[in-house]
Amino acid sequence: MLLAFFFLCLSLFCLFPLSSVAFPGTSSPNILIVLADDQGYGDVGFNAVPSRQYQPGANGPWQPNPPRTPNLDAWASASSSLLFSRAYSGSPVCSPTRSSLLTGRTPDRECIFNAEGCGQVPAWSCIDPMPFPNTVPTLARSLQGAGYSTMHLGKFHLGDFFPKNNPDPSYAYLKWPVMNPGMIGFDNWFSTEASASSSTLNCGCDPSWPNEPPGCIIGGGSWVLGKSLECTNFWLPTDTNAPRPECHSPKTSTISCVANSTDKVEGDSTMHMLDRLSIFINSSVTSARPFFAALELHTNHVPHPSLPEFYHLYNGTDGLPAGDYLGTLSQMDAGMGALRKLLSDLGVENSTIVYYVADNGSHPGKFNDGAGGVNDVQTTTNGLRQCKASVFEGGIRVPSFISWPGVIRSSIVSDIPVYVLDFFPTILDLLNISYPEPSWSLDGESILDLIRGGNSSGFSRTKSLAWRLEGQVAMLDPTGRFKLVKNPGAGQCDLEKSSYSYNLTGYFLFDITNDPIEATPLNNAHPDILASMTKEMEEWEASILVSEQEESQCLPPSPPVHESFYLVHGGFCLGAASASEHAKLTLTLSNCRDTSSVLSHWATNENGALVLASTDFGLHPLSDKCVDGTDIVLGEKDTAQFVTLDIAKGTLSSSAACPGKCVTTEFTIGDCSTANDGWSGQPIGKGKDVFSIKTTRGRYLKPYD
């Protein structure tokens, strides 16, 4: 199929000369991103050199076992390439890196906190809890505005492609129930919602396909009849030729806006996508437009069954066939060879910037029986500590290079730290495009001078690199020497038998230059650096909330500042005037007889306090006493609800302060003699007299701070 497209494209060159293609020195080179999935720092041959293999490793000596990746090795070491020995992903897991690649921002600013949705199951059942906001500037949208034709291929993993029955939608999901590449700057797309098998795509989508010879590839180096991996759906827009406005809005898009391209593909997922890429590039060439394509591979995410010819291509260190893990990496490498040939055959290799990088560190899984060919996960990270889902080096340091013929004129290896977030500002710098939101936080920085001048350019970073995943946080100083890790956790390296302790709390300072495997914290040796980096990390984390609420608006805005109030009991103060917005409602009761009070029904007492209809507990505004329309804020800052007092009805109702975002909140005091988890307004823990009241959504009345 791919060769057929090659010949078609070559024949069209007779009609459309190559002079229409942008070449080095012009203002608009073509741009191609290749994003590998779960590929570790040691999962390429070009990093299999002593200076990038760290012994003895976090688990003692390990035996190098690099995959055979001759095409990537040749590309990374070509005279037109800059190889990054200190390249980092945007996150230790996939969806956040995909967000940061598009935005140049830490993914938490868009509320992309973790891997979205499901793995390799049909799109029908995938629900992305926190979709990507279409209000945020993206690389695709900026290039689209600069006249580029744009295309996304492969793993999107940032939203649902059509409306689904989400039983518990988040604040962001209610705003963006549908999110696909066409809504953020891609003219064309041929994409999967999440992960996909590396071989025999879609084999499980039709009950007859697994039974048709030669069957399916499910791992183990052979074709199997009667069994398959789960179905994978590729999707594409239906309105490319006749755009429909409703299909480009997250609130109005329907399933009619997308088409399901699900055939039994007996080969490799990368080659399948290259068929589509060749059509797109040819179309851009014939229309004399520069192109931008994001090719987001499925390799080497689990499941990763390799075709038999790659499974048996070579032996691992145990003497057995390379297996599925190493075999699939070599299989993907063959696709990279086909991609480079495609660019050459279409006449665009010399006019195209190619950025190759992985979304996070390795996840080889539990393939320690020899069949997978990986008996020690240290081989996938080159000895770095941990892997995917960890902010240690093994989870975020990845293989990467940039190819730019005519501009990069000799093979260069740079040890200056760079990461995925740098690519967007670099392209803006190259094309002299201003960032659309100059007041917004932009975490990456342009490395254009480094690319153009290599190690002799004098380039040095001005910004630290930072990552956050759930409770884990890490920050690397601009020089790449000192790294601060907060609350480190174990990643997904099931085979790492490390002596390290994980799930620790606190801050740990490492000297990555002299201790790349993060073996020895240096808190006591460098207290000044520890203090300054801790302060910088705290300021960075504080800035994220501003972005979430005021920039991307993926979280609701902070409640307005309300006057201080007292907690009152019969007119007597139980709280403190310093409770500036809303306080934790801890009720000390003299008895537990009243089990029916509903706190959404209020009245006033003789002291002007808001009280329960059947008790005399409540919140007392310090100045206004009780007047109609008084706004009260209930809940934590990220889920706060506004309610308004209605004196006549004695109720709290949704406030006009945030129409469409509020619901009436009820609190019920339960039987304090029964210990439970606090759900639905029940008392928490054991104790005769003390209550903490929770909403039906599990949120406390607590200080807003």
Helix (H) or strand (E) holding 620: strand 617-621
**All residues at 6 or more sequence positions from 375 whose CB lies less than 8 Å from its CB, including other chains:** 65, 316, 317, 318, 368, 495
User: What is the mean pLDDT of the segment spanning 315-321?
Assistant: 83
pLDDT of residue 21: 37
Sheet of 641-646, strands arranged across: 631-634, 641-646, 651-654
- The domain limits of the chain are 26-459, 482-551, 557-705
**Which residue's entry shows tokens 């229409």?**
20
Q: How far apart are CA 664 and CA 642, in angstroms?
A: 9
User: What is the mean pLDDT of the segment spanning 38-52?
Assistant: 96
Chain segment 452-471, per-residue pLDDT in tens: 998 889 999 999 999 999 88
The DSSP string of 285-331 is HHTT--EEEEEE--TTSSS-PPPHHHHTSSB-TTSSB-HHHHHHHHH
Chain segment 243-263, per-residue pLDDT in tens: 899 999 999 999 999 999 988
C-alpha dist (Å) from residue 507 to 488, 497, 521:
8, 23, 9
Higher pLDDT, 504 or 288: 288
pLDDT of residue 151: 98
pLDDT of residue 491: 84
pLDDT of residue 365: 65
**Which residue's entry shows tokens 């004196």?**
647
User: What is the mean pLDDT of the segment spanning 124-131?
Assistant: 92
Q: How far apart are CA 198 and CA 118, in angstroms?
A: 17
pLDDT of residue 632: 46
pLDDT, mean over the chain: 78
Q: How far apart are CA 309 and CA 267, in angstroms?
A: 11
| Res. 681: pLDDT tops 60 | no
pLDDT category at 662 given cuts 50, 70, 90 is very low
Percent residues over pLDDT 90 in the chain: 60
| Res. 696: pLDDT tops 80 | no
| Res. 695: pLDDT tops 50 | no
| Res. 312: pLDDT tops 90 | yes
| Res. 130: pLDDT tops 80 | yes
The H-assigned helical ranges of 355-513 are 378-381, 393-396, 423-431, 448-453
User: What is the mean pLDDT of the segment spanning 282-309?
Assistant: 95
CB 62 within 8 A of CB 53: no
What's 27's DSSP letter?
S
| Res. 655: pLDDT tops 70 | no
pLDDT of residue 102: 98
pLDDT of residue 499: 61
pTM for this model (two decimals): 0.79
Q: Using the Cα atoms of residue 606, residue 609, residue 613 and residue 618 in order, give the sign of their dihedral.
A: negative
Higher pLDDT, 54 or 366: 54
- What are 358's two structure tokens? 């992985």
pLDDT of residue 626: 37
Chain segment 141-151, per-residue pLDDT in tens: 999 999 999 99
Higher pLDDT, 235 or 620: 235
Q: How far apart are CA 134 and CA 153, in angstroms?
A: 19
**Which residue's entry shows tokens 């938490």?**
108
Pick 26-459's CATH classification: 3.40.50.2000, 3.40.640.10, 3.40.720.10, 3.30.9.10.
3.40.720.10
Higher pLDDT, 354 or 265: 354
What's 133's DSSP letter?
P
Higher pLDDT, 148 or 701: 148
- Min mean pLDDT across 208-212, 400-404, 507-511, 589-593 is at 589-593
User: What is the mean pLDDT of the segment spanning 625-646?
Assistant: 43
Q: Which range is most confident: 257-271, 309-323, 587-601?
A: 257-271
Higher pLDDT, 120 or 587: 120
Between the two ends of the chain, the Cα-to-Cα distance in Å is 60
pLDDT of residue 558: 58
User: What is the mean pLDDT of the segment spanning 403-419?
Assistant: 96
User: What is the mean pLDDT of the segment spanning 660-665?
Assistant: 30
| Res. 439: pLDDT tops 70 | yes
- What are 28's two structure tokens? 């608009």
pLDDT of residue 372: 54
pLDDT of residue 59: 64
Q: How far apart are CA 701 and CA 677, in angstroms?
A: 16
Q: How far apart are CA 314 and CA 696, in angstroms?
A: 58
User: What is the mean pLDDT of the segment spanning 611-629?
Assistant: 36
pLDDT category at 497 given cuts 50, 70, 90 is low
Higher pLDDT, 541 or 587: 541
pLDDT of residue 577: 27
- Min mean pLDDT across 416-420, 489-493, 696-700 is at 696-700
pLDDT of residue 171: 87
Chain segment 588-607, per-residue pLDDT in tens: 222 222 322 223 333 344 44
pLDDT category at 11 given cuts 50, 70, 90 is very low
| Res. 667: pLDDT tops 60 | no
Residue type, 576: A
The DSSP string of 433-444 is ---S-TTS----
| Res. 275: pLDDT tops 60 | yes
- What are 636's two structure tokens? 């934590």
Chain segment 73-109, per-residue pLDDT in tens: 999 999 999 999 999 999 999 999 999 999 999 999 9
**All residues at 6 or more sequence positions from 698 whose CB lies less than 8 Å from its CB, including other chains:** 678, 679
